[in-house]
Amino acid sequence: MDRRLFLSSSFAFGVAGLMAPSFSAFQKRRAHRSDSAQQPKIERVIKTNEEWKKILTTEQYEVTREQGTEAPFSSPLTDIHEKGVFRCVCCDLSLFDSSAKFDSGTGWPSFFQPISKANVHEQTDTSLAEVRTEVLCARCDAHLGHVFTDGPKPTGLRYCMNGVALKFVKS
């Protein structure tokens, strides 16, 4: 290779590198795209606030649509130990399997993992003095609760969910 061409292309790559993301950033994006391409597409459910109010109780609406929190130890789902699936109360998407449920002692139904990462979305929640990770239903954006990193093995996660945001279907 001609040394001048090498130097000139190296300079151009270096300058372009200052203005564009690094190669590793491109690799990360490509890896993320391929991971998300492998996950099943979830059909969205979109309703107006008035439509949600017609199908949800006042408490369900407050928690799932307005990011509320139910009182601890108020949900009968906390004490369920049967085999089955916990589904979104708004759109019926399967969210958590009973085999991933554990007693966290917090007063809310807790799980160490969702049925599929594709079924939940996570986003930063700064509504209180602390930064938390909010968990939303991937199909209808219902507020479900929060996920914390103080859970049991194998994931070390604690999906602390509002029972009023879920319904249990026994298998």
Render pLDDT for 22-55 as a digit per residue (tens, 0 to 9).
333 323 323 333 344 455 688 999 999 999 999 9
Structure-block tokens of residue 109:
């139904």
Render pLDDT for 139-149 as a digit per residue (tens, 0 to 9).
999 999 999 99
Shared domain for 17 and 85, answered yes or no, is: no
Decide if 53 is inside a domain: yes
* pLDDT for the residue numbered 129: 86
Separation CA 17–CA 37 (nearest Å)? 28
Decide if 44 is inside a domain: no
> CA nearest 87: which of 72, 77, 73, 75?
77
Render pLDDT for 74-86 as a digit per residue (tens, 0 to 9).
999 999 999 999 9
Question: Does position 18 have pLDDT exceeding 70, yes or no?
Answer: no
* pLDDT for the residue numbered 8: 36
CATH of the domain at 137: 2.170.150.20
Shared domain for 71 and 106, answered yes or no, is: yes
Q: How many domains does the chain have?
A: 2
Separation CA 109–CA 74 (nearest Å)? 10
**Any idea which residues carry the catalytic annotation?**
160
Residue 80 sits in which domain range?
49-170
